[in-house]
Amino acid sequence: MIGGLFVYNHKGEVLISRVYRDDIGRNAVDAFRVNVIHARQQVRSPVTNIARTSFFHIKRANIWLAAVTKQNVNAAMVFEFLLKIIDVMQSYFGKISEENIKNNFVLIYELLDEILDFGYPQNSDTGVLKTFITQQGIKSQTKEEQAQITSQVTGQIGWRREGIKYRRNELFLDVLEYVNLLMSPQGQVLSAHVAGKVVMKSYLSGMPECKFGINDKIVMEAKGKGLSGGSDDPARSGKPVVVIDDCQFHQCVKLSKFETEHSISFIPPDGEFELMRYRTTKDISLPFRVIPLVREVGRTKMEVKVVLKSNFKPSLLGQKIEVKIPTPLNTSGVQLICLKGKAKYKASENAIVWKIKRMAGMKETQLSAEIELLETDTKKKWTRPPISMNFEVPFAPSGFKVRYLKVFEPKLNYSDHDVIKWVRYIGRSGLYETRC
């Protein structure tokens, strides 16, 4: 299991060091600094073995977080745990930075003591942790309160406490999709997938049981069969269905029930959480299309033309559109003409950044650039990194639809109808790249 955890700043100075196992000595702290942080070469692996001791690290901003062990631990678990620690720290004090870590080192030690015991990860749910790791010293807890905390930390429904009350029962569903695309210069889709998630914010009283329905193909077809002949058969009535390749759920969702009945039922945590994550690869509507034209005119000049087409309903608006066109390292000057938005050459990023605030569906616009190059004697060819883009659109590119979310709370007297529900769809760019 995990033998120790260290946090370093970018210089390799230790900010936090917590050793859980006897086989890890103080020299491990230095070994990592010397061999990884100060290594001459760029790190080639997130796992490093130094003298029979294994180091796992992740880096956020300027902060290195390293777990160390001498045993054959579950590597996936260690990384998931390190990511979780980052999560927990962020929810306690915001951005991970040297300053924040130094300011909260006592809190961090307290957290590390709680969520990792002898190298075994324990309950690391932020909501629960915040009920008893408060940095307020000891509160005069009643015996009931104490029992409630412990039963929550260890409990079957460790993510929700009892006795929550709201005057207004309300819930928000955000369907957030990231479209990933790799397209060849000729416009052939090399790979495309949507990584989606459903984020739920719930303000519900008591211990509500929720049931969540989506237009998943398997469910819809099963339903279609059951209702064969029925007028509202969704599969036949041409309503779109989504083919989900794979999905994952928050730990509150009863997985065995999903496996057998394909129904998503759960008791939600209070407040915001990620209900499910899914991935689709079929029938993705790509909101934008980038058509690049690059011409090298001699050794000192290049002409680039980029056409951007929006490909969705004209009534909808795409936002925060940004196209990043890489330029060679020896660029000396760029002349730009664009029909819409603003474009700028950013030497620090070696790219032309073209920003468009809003763009309606089924429109087309373009940018042309003349790039002047310095003459260099380096033989090394410029490798033309792909053109990447960012955007946000108000629909789900995978075709994912929420069909219903029903709430049952048998003990309290409010029904499904009394709950106010909001659903919102957002499609964003993931890695959205076109080779040129």
Cβ at position 200, least distance to another protein in Å: 14
Strand pairing partners for 425? 175
Instruction: Quote the CA–CA distance of 56 and 314 in Å, as a whole number.
Output: 49
Cβ at position 154, least distance to another protein in Å: 4
DSSP state of 268: P
Q: Which helix or strand (DSSP H or E) is residue 29 part of?
A: helix 27-32
165 is in an annotated binding site: no
344 is in an annotated binding site: yes
| Rounded (5°) CA angle 364-312-425 | 135
Select 62 or 141, whichever has its Cβ closest to another protein.
Answer: 141
Cβ at position 95, least distance to another protein in Å: 14
Cβ at position 375, least distance to another protein in Å: 19
Instruction: Quote the CA–CA distance of 109 and 264 in Å, as a whole number.
Output: 37
Cβ at position 102, least distance to another protein in Å: 3
Select 290 or 338, whichever has its Cβ closest to another protein.
Answer: 290
Instruction: Quote the CA–CA distance of 351 and 213 in Å, as a whole number.
Output: 44
309 is in an annotated binding site: no
Select 245 or 349, whichever has its Cβ closest to another protein.
Answer: 245
Question: 351-360 and 14-19: which strand pairing?
Answer: unpaired
Q: What is the DSSP string of 132-185?
A: H--SS------HHHHHHHHHHHHSTTTT--S----SS-EEEEEEEEEEEEEE-T
Select 122 or 335, whichever has its Cβ closest to another protein.
Answer: 122
342 is in an annotated binding site: yes
254 is in an annotated binding site: no
Select 70 or 320, whichever has its Cβ closest to another protein.
Answer: 70
The b/e string for 22-46 (b: 16+ C-beta within 10 A; e otherwise) is eebeeebbebbbeebbeeeeeeeeb
Binding region: 342, 344, 346, 355, 357
